[in-house]
Structure 1
Amino acid sequence: MAHLHTAAHTSLRGWLRHLAASDRLAAIRPGVALEHELAAIAKRLDGRQAALFPHPGGHPMPVISGFMSRRAWIAEAMGVPEARLLQHFRAAAEKPLAWREVDPAAAPVQQIVHRFAGGAADIRALLPVPTHSEHDHGAYITAGLVIARNPRTGVQNVSINRIQIHGPDRLGILILPRHLHAFFAAAEAQDEALEVAIAIGVDPLTALASQAIAPIDCDELEIAGALHGQPLPVVKCLTNQVRVPAEAEIVIEGRLLPRVREPEGPFGEFPKYYSAREEREVIAIDAVTHRRDPVFHTIVPAEMEHLLLGAIPREATLLAHLQRSFPNVTDVHLTVGGVARYHLVVQLRKTREGQAKNVMLGAFAGHYDVKQVIVVDEDVDIHDANEVEWAVATRFQADRDLVVIAGAQGSALDPSTTVGFAGNKPSPEWQGYGAKMGLDATKPLASAEHVFTRVRIPGERDVDLAQAVAATGAAALVGTPLQAE
C-alpha cells in the first residue's frame, strides 16, 4: 500500500470536527450523570451521532463516545470506499510501518503530569470514568489501549481490555489468554511486575489498529502507522519503558502486579450479558499524563462502536486466512446479531461441490470465537440479514448441508458455554468449551432449468426513480380529492 494517504483522518480532534461539520456529533447538555445516564444517552444515539458530554457529573473533563459506530464512518476515517475497508486494513496489517519516537516536549499527551507516589493523586478525581450498565460493579475504563512490552523481546502489544476502578491508585483488569496474558505470565514467572500504559482518546485509525489479529511480536502501533500512511509519533512513558501514541489525550502509566489478584466484575460485555465477578489481575498506577484540556473516550459496551472495533480487524484477518486456501472466497462478514464475533457469513464463488464445508472448517480454524458459519453464493449480499436468511431458507437442507463440531474451543464470554457447570462457572480449562455449526447455503452448481434462478426484473437496478415518479403526484392522476370509496 502507498504510505501517503492524505484523505485518512489521523487526528481524534480533527475527526470530531469532521463529524460535527456533517451533523454527526451531538453536543449533550452539561452535567449529565456519569452513572448510567451518560451511557444511556450515548446508546440512544448509537450509529446516528457521536455524543460529546461537557462537564459530566460536574467533572471539568468532557467525555466522547460513539465516534466509530458505523462501518461507513470507519471507511471514511481510512479515506477509502466502504467496499475496500477490509482490503485496506489487511494491507496495513501485512505491511506495518515502524513508529517514530519524539521528544517528550513535542508530545501533547505529556503536557500535564500527575505523579501517584505516596498518594499524591487519585484516579477517581482525575478522570470522568462512567458506570455503564445496570449491574456493573462500578466505573470502568472501556476505551483504553493497554500497551505492554514482551519481557523477552521488548516488542510491544496493544489491546483494549476492560479496566475497573478499584481505588485511588489501583485498577482491576480482565486479561484473556492472548498476547498481554503471555507477557504477564513471563514476567510473573520471574516474580516481576509488567510495565503497562493505558492510552485513552486516540485517533480512530489507531483505535482500530489496536484490535488487529497479529503475531505476538507485531506492535499494533506500527499497523496504525501504515493506516496513517506515515510513522505514528510515540513517546516513552515517564515512569517506564513503554511507548505510547504521542497525540493521545490521556495515558495512565502503571504496573501489572505479580501474584496479586482481586475481585473484578460483574461487567456487561459484548455478548450483551454480564461476565462473572472473579479474581483477576491488578494494575498499580504510577502516573497519569494528559493534554491540556483533554477529552476522555468511553465505549458503551455491546453497542456498535464496541462491536465494529472488534469486527473489522477480525473480518480482515479471516478473509486473508481463508483466501490463502480458498482464493474463490470473495468476502466475509461478522454479523451484528452474532455480536460481531460469533456468527460469520462467507461469500463464495463456488467451483466444486463440497467446497463450502471445507471453507467452514477453515473459518473455524481462523479464530476460536467463530461459532457459526454460513456460506453463501456471490449473488447474496452478506451485509443484508434478510438476503442471508433467504439463502438459508431456499438453498439449505439440514440433513445434507449442516455441519456440527462438538467439543471445540469457543469464546469464554459466551454464556451458553457455562450451562451444566456448577454456578455457571466452569474452571479455566473448560471456559468457552462448546460446539460449532456450519450451514452450506450455496445452490448446486448444476440444476434443471430455472429451479435455482433468482427472480429478477430487467432494468430494476437501473431505474431512476427521480425521473420515473411523476412530479404532479398521485392525486392528480386519480381525481381530487383522493378518497376511499
Structure 2
Amino acid sequence: MNSRDAAGSGTPQSSWAPQSTAPTLRHWLERLSATGRVATIDQPVSLEHELAAVAKRLDGEQATIFLKPGGHAIPVVSGFMSKRAWIAEAMGVPEAALLERFRDAAGHPVAWHELPREEAACQQVVRTQGIDLHALLPIPTHSEHDNGPYITAGLVIARNPRTGIQNVSINRIQVHAPDRMAILMLPRHLLAFYQAAEAAGDALDVAIAIGVDPLTMLASQAITPIDDDELEIAGALHGAPLPVVKCVTNDVRVPAFSEIVIEGRILPKVREPEGPFGEFPKYYSAREAREVIEVTAVTHREQPIYHTIIPAEMEHLLLGAIPREATLLAHLQRGHPGVKDVELSVGGVCRYHLWVQFDKKREGEAKNVILCAFGAHYDIKQVVVVDTDVDVHDPAEIEWAIATRFQADRDLVIVAGAQGSPLDPSTTVGQPEDAAPHMQGVSAKMGLDATRPIVYPAHVFTRVRIPGQDTVDLDRLVATSNAAFDAYLHSGQLRDAV
C-alpha cells in the first residue's frame, strides 16, 4: 500500500472548471449540509440492516451520513439524489427543464480529460496486495433476505474489447469473498463486452467507482448506443470535460475524483452463486449462478466516503427514471410531435408504468403513442396517455383522467406475449423454476387512452375551474393572525348561551 500527501483539503489541484453545482460528491454534500438536507448519524450502527433501515426512513427527506458504520473508519452516505428537485439543482436548471437538460447532454457529449496519477484524488491510497474488501470497506447488507453485503452504488466501467470505447453502468455486486464478487449483468452493453471477451477466452477488465458526483451517477444510466461513453455525457452535464485517470492494474479510465475505486477483471467461464437480493420492483431476485469479478486493486482518497444506494427507494428509482424519461420523451416526440411530457411513475417503480401528456389532434393517435412507447423500452408494461390539461406528474390527475375519460371496451390496448422485465415477478407465474433464459420476462402490455374526444358537445369534457384560482393574491387577502375571526366568534357567545 502507498499513499500521497494531498494539497489543501485532500482534493488535488486541477484546472477543471465545471459549470454544475456538484462537481464532486464532496461539493454536493457540502451544499446539502449547508441547506439542512443532511442527517449526520454519529452513533455506531450495524452494517447488517440497521444502516439501511435508518437511511430508508430518511430517504427523500435528507441525505444520511453514518460516521461510525460497523466499526469502520470510513463513513457511509446514502440518499443524496432522492428528490427530482435536488437532481435539477445539481444540474443548475429548474425542475421543469430536467429532462431537456439531460437529453441535450446525451446528444452533445464532451470528451473526458485524463489526469496524471499524482493529480487524481481516487489514487491517493493504492492497495494491490492483501486485499480484503470486508475489512477495507463498510459494505452494508440491506434487505432482510439479501445473501450478504452488496455494492449498490458502484459505477462499473469496462472497455469494449473490439473498439476500446468504455461503457458505464450500475450493477448489483455481491461481495462474497475477500477479493471476489459476483455481478448481475442484464442483456445490455456490459454483458455484450463480457461475452465478446469470454468468447476469445479472455477476462474483461473492469473498475468499480464508488462515491462519484450526482451528475456522473445520473449519466451512467443514459440509454445510448453501445459505443457511447457515459463519462462523456457526464462531462456534458458538468459543462466541462470530466477528469479521469487510468487504473493502476488495467487500462480502464475512472472519474479522477471518485472516493473509492475497485479494480478487477470478470473471469471467463467462471460462475458462482449470487442472490437473493431485494431489487427495484420491491421483491427479491432468485439465487443464481453469476459471473465473477476477481479484484486486483483498491484505490481511494486518504479519507474516503463510501456511497450506498438503498434498493427500491427514491435514490435508486430516480437514478433510473430520469435518463429513461429523457430518452422516452425524445423517442416519442420523433414520431409524435404532440407529446409534451412524460413521467415514469413511482408506483410503477420508475420503470414499468409510463404517463404521457399528449396534444391530440386526431382520434386514434393516442393508441399509436401507446404502441410507440412499448417499442421504446422492453421494461414498459403500462402506458397511460392524457391530454395537455392533465398534470402528468400528479398521480391524482392521472387517476382522474382514467376515471372520467377512459372506457375499457373502447380505449384499452393489450399486447400479449411481449418481452418485459425479467425482474418483474409476475412474469414468472406459470413458468417452471428452471425456465430457460429466453423465456424469462415474457409479459403482457397494457395501454390506456385517457384522452377526451376531439369534438364533444357543450361542456361535457370541460374541466371545472374557478376564474382567478391561480392568480388571486393570497398574501394581500389572508390576515397574518386569526384575531379578527376570534373576536367575531366571541361576539356571539352570549346569544349562543341563551
Name which of 91, 95, 102 aligns with 1:78: 91
Structure 1: 5+ residue stretches without partners: none
1:358 is matched with which residue? 368
2:75 is matched with which residue? 62
Letter in 1 for 2:444: A
1:311 equivalent in alignment to 2:321: yes
Aligned 1:220-259 pairs, distance under 5 A:
220-259=230-269
| Alpha-carbon distance in structure 1 between the residues aligned to 2:128 and 2:17 | 38
Q: Deviations over 1:301-326 (max 9, x none)?
A: 00000000000000000000011111
Aligned 1:448-463 pairs, distance under 5 A:
448-463=457-472
Q: Per the alignment, in what secondary structure is the counterpart of residue 58 of structure 1?
A: coil
Q: Flag as ranges the 4+ runs of structure 1 deviating above 4 A.
A: 480-485
Q: 1:275 to 1:481 in 2, by over 3 A?
A: farther
| Alpha-carbon distance in structure 1 between the residues aligned to 2:144 and 2:306 | 21
Deviation for aligned residue 1:4: 8.3
Q: Per the alignment, in what secondary structure is the counterpart of residue 391 of structure 1?
A: helix
1:16 equivalent in alignment to 2:35: no
| Alpha-carbon distance in structure 1 between the residues aligned to 2:386 and 2:82 | 26
Q: % of aligned pairs identical?
A: 68
Aligned 1:469-484 pairs, distance under 5 A:
469-473=478-482, 474-479=485-490
CA contact (8 A) 1:196 1:242 kept: yes
CA contact (8 A) 2:154 2:171 kept: yes
Q: Per the alignment, in what secondary structure is the counterpart of residue 56 of structure 1?
A: coil
Q: Deviations over 1:366-425 (max 9, x none)?
A: 1100000000000101111000000000000000000000000000100000000123x5
CA contact (8 A) 1:69 1:308 kept: yes
1:219 equivalent in alignment to 2:232: no
| Alpha-carbon distance in structure 2 between the residues aligned to 1:272 and 1:427 | 24
Deviation for aligned residue 1:17: 0.4
CA contact (8 A) 1:475 1:482 kept: no
CA contact (8 A) 2:122 2:260 kept: yes
1:430 equivalent in alignment to 2:439: yes
Deviation for aligned residue 1:160: 0.1
1:274 is matched with which residue? 284
Q: Per the alignment, in what secondary structure is the counterpart of residue 22 of structure 2?
A: coil
1:394 is matched with which residue? 404
Letter in 1 for 2:489: V
| Alpha-carbon distance in structure 2 between the residues aligned to 1:221 and 1:469 | 51
Q: Per the alignment, in what secondary structure is the counterpart of residue 134 of structure 1?
A: coil
CA contact (8 A) 2:20 2:237 kept: no
Name which of 164, 172, 181 aligns with 1:162: 172
Q: Per the alignment, in what secondary structure is the counterpart of residue 322 of structure 2?
A: helix
Q: Per the alignment, in what secondary structure is the counterpart of residue 77 of structure 1?
A: helix
Name which of 99, 105, 124 aligns with 2:118: 105
| Alpha-carbon distance in structure 1 between the residues aligned to 2:435 and 2:472 | 57
Deviation for aligned residue 1:328: 1.0
| Alpha-carbon distance in structure 2 between the residues aligned to 1:445 and 1:313 | 32
CA contact (8 A) 1:475 1:481 kept: no
Q: Deviations over 1:307-352 (max 9, x none)?
A: 0000000000000001111111000000000000000000001111
| Alpha-carbon distance in structure 1 between the residues aligned to 2:232 and 2:324 | 17
1:178 is matched with which residue? 188
Q: TM-score, normalised by structure 2?
A: 0.94
Q: Deviations over 1:255-274 (max 9, x none)?
A: 00000000000000000000
Deviation for aligned residue 1:232: 0.3
Deviation for aligned residue 1:467: 2.3
Letter in 2 for 1:108: A
Q: 1:240 to 1:279 in 2, by over 3 A?
A: same
Deviates more, 1:457-466 or 1:364-373: 457-466
CA contact (8 A) 2:146 2:277 kept: yes
Structure 2: 5+ residue stretches without partners: 1-15
| Alpha-carbon distance in structure 2 between the residues aligned to 1:252 and 1:166 | 15
Name which of 62, 67, 70 aligns with 1:49: 62
Q: 1:4 to 1:358 in 2, by over 3 A?
A: farther
Letter in 1 for 2:258: A
1:443 is matched with which residue? 452
Q: Deviations over 1:151-193 (max 9, x none)?
A: 0000000000000001010001000000000000000001100
Deviation for aligned residue 1:234: 0.4
Q: 1:481 to 1:199 in 2, by over 3 A?
A: farther
Deviation for aligned residue 1:287: 0.2
Q: Per the alignment, in what secondary structure is the counterpart of residue 20 of structure 1?
A: helix
1:333 equivalent in alignment to 2:346: no
Q: Deviations over 1:76-95 (max 9, x none)?
A: 00000000000000000001
| Alpha-carbon distance in structure 1 between the residues aligned to 2:133 and 2:178 | 5
Q: TM-score, normalised by structure 1?
A: 0.97
1:25 is matched with which residue? 38
CA contact (8 A) 1:115 1:121 kept: yes
**RMSD between aligned residues:** 1.5
Q: Deviations over 1:423-455 (max 9, x none)?
A: 3x5321011101100000000010000000000
| Alpha-carbon distance in structure 1 between the residues aligned to 2:492 and 2:421 | 61
| Alpha-carbon distance in structure 1 between the residues aligned to 2:42 and 2:259 | 22
CA contact (8 A) 2:126 2:300 kept: yes
Q: 1:267 to 1:96 in 2, by over 3 A?
A: same
Q: Per the alignment, in what secondary structure is the counterpart of residue 253 of structure 1?
A: strand
Q: Deviations over 1:114-141 (max 9, x none)?
A: 113xxx1211100000000000000000
1:192 equivalent in alignment to 2:193: no
| Alpha-carbon distance in structure 2 between the residues aligned to 1:334 and 1:23 | 28
Deviation for aligned residue 1:103: 0.3
